[in-house]
Structure 1
Amino acid sequence: MTGSTPVSEIGERSLIKRLSGIFNNGCNPDVRIGSGTDDCAVVDISGDEYLVVTTDMLHRKTDFPLQMTPWQIGWMSAAVNLSDVASMGARPIGFLSAMGFSKDTDISFVEEISRGMDDCAKFCGTSVIGGDIDTHDELTITGTALGKVKKSELLTRKGVRIGDKVCVTGFAGSAGAALHAIEKNITIPGSLLNKLLTPIPCVNEAMKLASSGAVTCMMDTSDGLAMSLHDLADINGVGFRIYESMLPVHEDLGNYVTSDPDEQTDFALYTGGDFELLFTVSPDKLEEARAACNLSIIGEVVEQTVGIRIERKEGTDLSINRKGYLQLGD
């Protein structure tokens, strides 16, 4: 067929944007946020609450390192979705999973995946409430997570104001550094390895931030800090100034993976899988945000004309590129 374009040429985000144009036709008044614009869709279900819904598909070859146990595969499958629910400030209320296995998969393997999935759901205050099983050439797991949030506390990617402080939870680049270490046969401690193999959704931190009234926008950093900053800049029409000296990099990244400060910054900016929260806070409400959770201030919101830039420790000022963890050829 002439004029055809393979999906690998346009990348995941461009394809999502095209498909969202098909799905978001405005015919359902209960849908307040539709597909492709945030971490979750938002549905009006009552006078004071929204339902948030998200789904994600994971594959053996591209998403689960060979070092992962079946239990960790199950945990990861739930965590990636429950992290999206958290990023909206919502309380998880259920998790569903459709799993595809080859016909010769051992039953104990499937049971361990299910236990990991169930343990992650319970850790986040919810449970596995259903799903489907089918045969598939490659291990494939599609998860769907549901959550509820007060309308007054819903957090989205939109709402940034110039002058807001840019904040993150946890450390940046740990999961990416762990993956690099595995690929290079570098022995690393559990402080890094667990970030890759058993990521913890920031559910409690997110709900406390939502109720604090201090946060103006939020998303998770599963695709990397740099990519997340570009996503927020695009939807809000702003720029960001980030300070290298303020990036929270775990000391074990420098002790075990690389002592090069430039490489440490690259891990922090351009690798994904940390599932931390990236959010902006009104300067006059920083104390409320600090009371909600442990956070690091890494920069501030600036005008769009400035771009998305990082001030290096030696004083140089560089653009932060739009790159991170992507699929479909990006």
Structure 2
Amino acid sequence: MTITREPTAAGVAIAARKVAEILPATPLLPLEIDGRTIWCKAESLQPVGAFKIRGAWHRLTDLDEAQRGAGVVGVSSGNHAQGVAWAAQRLGITATIVMPVDAPAVKLASTRALGAEVVLYDRPGGEDRDEVARRECEKRGAVLVHAFADAWVIEGQGSTGIEITAQMQALAGGAPDLVVAPCGGGGLTAGLALACPDARIVPVEPEGWDDVCRSLVAGRILPVDPFAPPTACDALQTPSTKPITFAVLKQRCSFGLVATPAEVRAAQRLAFAKLRLVLEPGGAAALAAVLAGKVELGERTAVVLSGGNTDAEAFVRVLAGED
């Protein structure tokens, strides 16, 4: 079962109030870059290690009793999976998550530990995850909770921007004029655009998976190249954005940026050294672009550190400079 409507700024405000009732605001940490301060939003410190808990909570708390009884199906490489599983467990809702066979082990284990059933699909083999999710929804009569093509999810992710604005007004003397964020399907970026209407919003994608960047230039949705290279940024590895997200992005984002693997690893190392944070590759993408000088900083720049769910062995290799 799918339910559609358009995301709104009013919906973001509602989501922010709902999230604030159950979760403390994540820290906004100052970081000096070439003599200027940027403000890093540590979403990696959420209970599930990523911002995805926001959209999942807003979505699931708006289900009626019949929908809750039927359960939900999510599609994710791991962060949205954990967000949906966390919210479902807290609300007593059955959750099924469609995940790729090559998802990081830590994300698979955490999703299952939160009580969700995991259905695997063959991402390397080109299996369509949305089609797998559709079949699961039909089989179970469940509600689809899409990772980014869902109004409630977009609004929930936008609550990040509400928090950033309040924190920067207190710490930096005003609301952000630039927000740089990792981008996969565009749910977070679209939510930030609704939450921070006066700020420039810049999405950052991993090299080879820059479909949103290219779509913004073309003015229409373009998919990832079928021969896109492997990327460590599994959280940002989406085939294409969707109309519901692109409708917001094309109005508010004039361009996007691409972070290379080396730039992402450098950002992971710096975040660990300077901020004492563990970031997964996708969670470090926005910081990577900023550190590489790919965007002109504003007077009050916010950078979203979107997730920290990385396998320990992989992170050790990054810190050691082996990758």
Structures share a fold, TM > 0.5?
no
More strand by share: 1
Please give the TM-score of this superposition, normalised by the length of structure 1: 0.29
